[in-house]
Amino acid sequence: MLGFFLLTFVLATLFSMAGAGAGIALIPILHFLGIDFNLAKATGLFVGFSTTVTSSVMNWRRGVLRIRRVLPLALTLPIFAPLGAQLSRLVDPTLVKLLFALFLIFSASMMLFFKKQPKAHIDAAWVMGLLGAVVGTLAGLLGVGGGNLLLPMLILLGFPPKEVAVAVSFVVPFSALSSFLSYATFVTIDWALLGACVAGAVAGGMAGNHLLHTRLSPQQVRKVIAAILYLLAVRLLWSVWG
């Protein structure tokens, strides 16, 4: 299990330097190493929960969260994410892997090219609830927390970037946990693997925070991460079609 600890440590160190979660890269790499795809997703979800729940609690206690604006998201994401997880039992695994590869490409492209400019000013409760339902279902199906999907959507809807970061950090842990619990109903959890990955992610997150002031800028780190995600997408597509 030392190898899984070191793998997660390195990924978490790198991704935390860009303010991102490492689960999106951990899941396909675990699968390439022989871990069942659904188990890899469940492991990535719990790793994501364990490394983001602290930020969620801290933002709540600091009073920087505008709870009334994110409440529809906070309610719908944890409800629909487990449904998406259960949906993965019915959808062809090849299609799920294809969707995950497209999600990797989307996330990498967002890191490189997304302009944080609003295209509208919409914060109606029903829109937030619908967004939470759609993102929650897709996130549960793919085995991710949903932050990479929510962040650009909320900015495009007119939310200030700093407020978006706080809102996403608050709702994603609950989405990840509910999805993990849903996967745990039909996936046999490898607790040794889970413990090694969680320990590596927590340690890597702390290391990444200490390395934020190195010569590498966040922009450079994002380019490296994007390149990794593109490579993982190509490898996953090859495993599907090769």
Question: At 215, is the pLDDT very low, low, confident or very high (cuts 50, 70, 90)?
Answer: low
Name which of 20, 24, 18 is nearest 43 in CA terms. 24
Cβ-contact 198, 188 below 8 angstroms? no
Residue 155 has what pLDDT? 81
Q: How far apart are CA 107 and CA 87, in angstroms?
A: 22
CB neighbourhood size of 168 (10 A) = 24
Question: At 186, is the pLDDT very low, low, confident or very high (cuts 50, 70, 90)?
Answer: very high
End-to-end CA distance of the chain: 30
Highest mean pLDDT among 18-27, 154-163, 167-176, 190-199: 190-199
Flag whether pLDDT at 58 surpasses 80.
no
Q: Which residue has the higher pLDDT, 28 or 157?
A: 28
Residue 221 has what pLDDT? 83
Question: At 30, is the pLDDT very low, low, confident or very high (cuts 50, 70, 90)?
Answer: very high
Residues 130, 89, 190: CA angle, nearest 5 degrees:
110
Q: How far apart are CA 165 and CA 161, in angstroms?
A: 6
151 dihedral zone (left: phi>0; alpha: psi -120 to 50; beta): alpha
Cβ-contact 50, 104 below 8 angstroms? no
Flag whether pLDDT at 69 surpasses 80.
no
Q: Over the Cα atoms of the chain, what is R_g?
A: 17
Question: Where does residue 106 rank: exposed (0-12), middle (13-18), buried (19+ CB within 10 A)?
Answer: middle
Residue 63 has what pLDDT? 61
Flag whether pLDDT at 223 surpasses 80.
yes
Residue 188 has what pLDDT? 95
Q: Which residue has the higher pLDDT, 45 or 169?
A: 45
Give long-range contacts, CB 8 A cutoff, 24+ apart: 10-13. 10/204, 11/201, 11/204, 12/51, 12/200, 12/201, 12/202, 12/203, 12/204, 12/205, 12/207, 12/208, 13/204, 13/205, 13/207, 13/208, 13/211
Residue 65 has what pLDDT? 62
Q: Domain range holding 236?
A: 2-241
Q: For the chain, give the percent of residues with pLDDT over 70.
A: 89
Question: At 112, is the pLDDT very low, low, confident or very high (cuts 50, 70, 90)?
Answer: confident
Give the three-class secondary structure for 37. Answer: helix
Residue 213 has what pLDDT? 62
Q: Which residue has the higher pLDDT, 118 or 210?
A: 210
Residue 66 has what pLDDT? 67
pTM score, whole prediction: 0.89
Q: What is the mean pLDDT of residues 132-150?
A: 90
Flag whether pLDDT at 118 surpasses 90.
no
Flag whether pLDDT at 235 surpasses 70.
yes
Q: What is the tally of structural domains in the chain?
A: 1
Flag whether pLDDT at 9 surpasses 90.
yes
